[in-house]
């Protein structure tokens, strides 16, 4: 199959039949960049690529073990927490002691001055209580160490969990873990639904999965660069039926990869 920056030629055939499965984007992705001759030769992917292979790459416990050098500094080291002193290198509200730096009770103080200084001490005490509360929360929730639950997740799923950190203080540890489990499960189900929709689309329009993925990638690049703003703009890039281009375009918008 050959395509240039001006024309993207797709063989309108369905070699694998209706039972062909959608392969992984990571296995079939091909950059649509210019060459010196503005022409790129692309080899078709083997028929053995399947959607199930793509999904198995995201299963639990499938990550390759990393050496200590590759992992870099631990979360405990990055936090600056000293286990022996049970203190952070930089505490919460770290400059609160400056309130008392120059304060001194004198026998010559008036009643108003003494009351003012006592009020400053009460404010200082409350701020220390808040510092202790935050530190205790971190230690009780074991936040200085990687979460065993998140070690099984993909980076995309970890980023999703980070969005719910703000609710942690309103839940018990068990309640928050249950929330994250539900969020990740929902995310995987929705992702699986999108994959099955793409598989069904390829069957309905009789478009081989590798060709579909290349079209999806090429259209994404062109839409982000402003060359494609509506369906009709994509017709000149592909030598297939416009109705098929419309279906791929609609799927691209449904996946949320670009905004119309």
C-alpha span between 249 and 205 (Å, rounded): 13
Name the percent of the chain lying above pLDDT 90: 44
Dump pLDDT digits (tens) for 112-138.
999 999 999 999 999 999 999 999 999
* CA of residue 110 relative to chain centroid, distance: 60
Q: Is 19 left (phi over 0), alpha (psi -120 to 50) or beta?
A: alpha
CB-based contacts of 12, cutoff 8 Å, min separation 6:
206, 240, 241
The H or E element spanning position 215 is helix 209-224
Dump pLDDT digits (tens) for 174-202.
999 999 999 999 999 999 999 999 999 99
Q: Does 223 score more than 60 pLDDT? A: yes
Name the percent of the chain lying above pLDDT 70: 71
C-alpha span between 30 and 153 (Å, rounded): 26
* Mean pLDDT computed over 65-84: 67
C-alpha span between 57 and 113 (Å, rounded): 69
Dump pLDDT digits (tens) for 135-171.
999 989 988 888 889 989 999 999 999 999 999 999 9
Q: Domain spans of the chain?
A: 2-57+199-254, 75-187
Task: Quote the pLDDT of residue 242.
Answer: 93
Does residue 2 contact residue 42 with C-beta atoms inside 8 Å?
Answer: yes
Biggest CA-to-CA distance, the chain = 97
C-alpha span between 191 and 197 (Å, rounded): 10
What global pTM score does this model have? Answer: 0.59
């Amino acid at each position: 199959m050959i395509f240039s920056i001006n024309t993207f030629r797709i063989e309108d055939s369905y070699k694998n039949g209706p039972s062909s499965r959608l392969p992984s984007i990571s296995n079939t992705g091909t950059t649509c960049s210019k060459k010196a001759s503005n022409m790129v030769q692309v080899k078709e992917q083997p028929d053995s690529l399947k959607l199930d292979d793509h999904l198995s790459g995201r299963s639990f416990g499938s990550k390759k073990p990393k050496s200590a050098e590759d992992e870099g500094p631990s979360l405990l080291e990055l936090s600056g927490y000293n286990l022996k002193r049970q203190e952070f290198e930089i505490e919460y509200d770290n400059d609160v002691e400056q309130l008392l730096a120059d304060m001194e009770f004198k026998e010559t103080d008036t009643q108003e001055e003494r009351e003012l200084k006592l009020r400053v001490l009460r404010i200082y005490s409350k701020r220390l209580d808040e510092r202790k509360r935050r530190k205790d929360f971190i230690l009780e929730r074991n936040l200085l160490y990687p979460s065993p639950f998140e070690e099984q997740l993909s980076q995309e799923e970890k980023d999703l969990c980070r969005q719910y950190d703000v609710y942690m203080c309103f839940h018990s540890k068990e309640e928050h873990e249950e929330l994250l489990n539900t969020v990740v499960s929902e995310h995987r189900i929705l992702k699986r639904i999108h994959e099955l929709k793409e598989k069904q689309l390829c069957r309905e329009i009789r478009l081989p999965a590798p060709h579909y993925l290349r079209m999806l990638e090429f259209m994404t690049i062109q839409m982000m660069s402003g060359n494609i703003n509506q369906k009709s703009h994509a017709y000149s890039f592909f030598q297939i039926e416009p109705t098929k281009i419309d279906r791929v375009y609609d799927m691209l918008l449904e996946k949320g990869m670009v905004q119309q």
